[in-house]
Structure 1
C-alpha cells in the first residue's frame, strides 16, 4: 500500500460494527474504494454485486 493511501485510510475514524446485510456492506465498501482511488477493486465489487443481484431467486 502506498503511503498516501495508507494515510487516507488511517485518517478514517473507526466505526462501530454494522448489523446490516453483507450486500449493503459491500455496496458501501465499493463507494469507499472509489473514494480511495481503488477503482479496479471497486469495479470488481460492482461486478460481483451486479451478478449477485441478477441471480434468479430459488423457488
Structure 2
C-alpha cells in the first residue's frame, strides 16, 4: 500500500463512522459512547504528525494493517 498508516487509520475511522450513522457526532440523537470515542480518536489523529505514537496506537485499536 502506498498510503501512510495515518491515512489508512483516518480512512477506517471515517468509514466506520459512516457505517454507523454518519458524521459529525453532533448530528446523532443520543450519546453513543462508541461513536463519540471514534470521533474523538479521529480528531486526535488529525492533530498529530505521521510518526506520532498515537497513529500506531489507533492502528492497533481499529485493526488497520
TM range (shorter): 0.3 to 0.5
Between 1 and 2, higher relative CO (CA 8 Å, sep ≥ 6) is seen in 2
Q: Which has the larger radius of gyration?
A: 1
State the TM-score, normalizing by the size of structure 1. Answer: 0.39
State the TM-score, normalizing by the size of structure 2. Answer: 0.37
